[in-house]
Amino acid sequence: MQKLTFRWQNQEICLSDRSPIILSSLNLGEAYRENISNKNWGSSGVSVVSSKVGARTITARCTLLCKSEKELFDMRKKITSVLNPARHDGTLFYFNGFKEYQIAASVETSIVFEEFLGGRRGQFFTVRFFCKNPLFLEPLEVQKEFRETLPMIIFPLTIKENLVFSSLSGTELRVNNRGDAEAGVRIEVFGPVRNPVIENQTTGEKIVLQTSLLGGEKAVITTHFSDKKVVIYRQSGESFNAFHLISSETVFFSLASGINRVRFYGSQGDDLARCKMAFREGYFAA
C-alpha cells in the first residue's frame, strides 16, 4: 500500500487506497544532474565547471469517489483549497507500505477535475508536487551533543563517598551520515562562550560566530538547503537575525555522506559551553 499526505500548516489531504480520495497511480519522479559547462573552440567534449542535483516532480493520479453528489462537490472544494499552487513550503509524507519518508513540496499546478463518474459521485484528477530538494528525508532527526555526561559504570548501590562514575565528553564528534547525499544541519550553541566555532574537519569548512553568549543565551544556526539562517536568543527573551555576526571565512557546511569529524570550540569559555547538532538523512529513492 502506498500513501501520500500533503500537509500545509494545520491542513492536510491524504491520498491512499481508501475513499474518498484513492491514489490510482504514483510517479515519484527523478532527481537529475544539472551541469554548468564550457566548450573550447576546436576541442572535443566540454569542461564541467560545477554540477548540482536538480528538483524533483512527483505526480499522483487520483480518483475521487463519494457517496453523494453534494459530498463530491464538498470534497472538490476541500481538495482545491489545500492542493493549490499558493500553498508554499508544505510537506509531503510518503509511505511505501514499509517505511515513511518526508520531502518539502508545493503544488505545481491547480487541480483540474475530469469527467464525472457514477452519476456525478466521482471524478478523476491529477496533482503534481514540485520538490525543490529532491531527497526523501527520514522523519526523525539524528541528534548529537558535543558535551554530555557519559556513564562509566552503573550498579544498584548507594555510597556516601564522593566517587566519579561518569565523565564529560570532549569537543569533537564522529558523525555518520548514512544518507545518499550531503545533509544540512541545525546547530545550537549554549553560552557562556566567546566567538564560537563549529568546524567540519572532514571538509575543512567551518562556521565562526563573532559574538559572546552569556550563560542562559544560545545561538541557533541552520545550514539546510535554501534555509540558511542564524538566530541569537538573549537572556531577556529577545531574539534576532544574527547573520551580520558571521565571519567572512564562514561556510554553511553540510555533512558529507559517511563519517564526518566535527569540532566545537571558542576563543574563550568553551569549557563551560554546550553545543548540539541535528540533521536528517536523505535518500534519492524511497
Give how far Cα 88 sits from Cα of 46, 59, 69, 157, 282, Å. 37, 17, 31, 57, 21
Residues 6+ apart with CB under 8 A from 5: 12, 13, 14, 15, 92, 93, 95
The 10 Å Cβ neighbour count of residue 49 is: 9
Torsion of CA 180, 142, 227, 110, to 10 degrees: 70
Backbone angles phi, psi at 78, to 5 degrees: -65, -45
Least confident of 1-10, 35-44, 76-85, 228-237: 35-44
Position 155 confidence tier, pLDDT thresholds 50, 70, 90: low
List the grid coordinates of 143: 541528534
Pairing of strands 197-200, 172-177: unpaired
Q: What is the pLDDT of residues 228-275, one digit of tens each?
A: 999 999 998 899 999 999 999 999 999 999 999 999 998 876 788 899
What is the pLDDT at residue 151? 53
Q: What share of the chain is helix, strand, coil (3-state, %, to 5)?
A: 5, 50, 45
pLDDT digits (tens, 9 = 90+) for 64-76: 999 999 999 999 9
What pLDDT score does 227 carry?
83
141: closest CA among 108, 77, 187? 187
What global pTM score does this model have?
A: 0.83
Distance of alpha carbon 55 from its chain centroid, rounded? 15
Cβ atoms of 114 and 61 closer than 8 Å: no
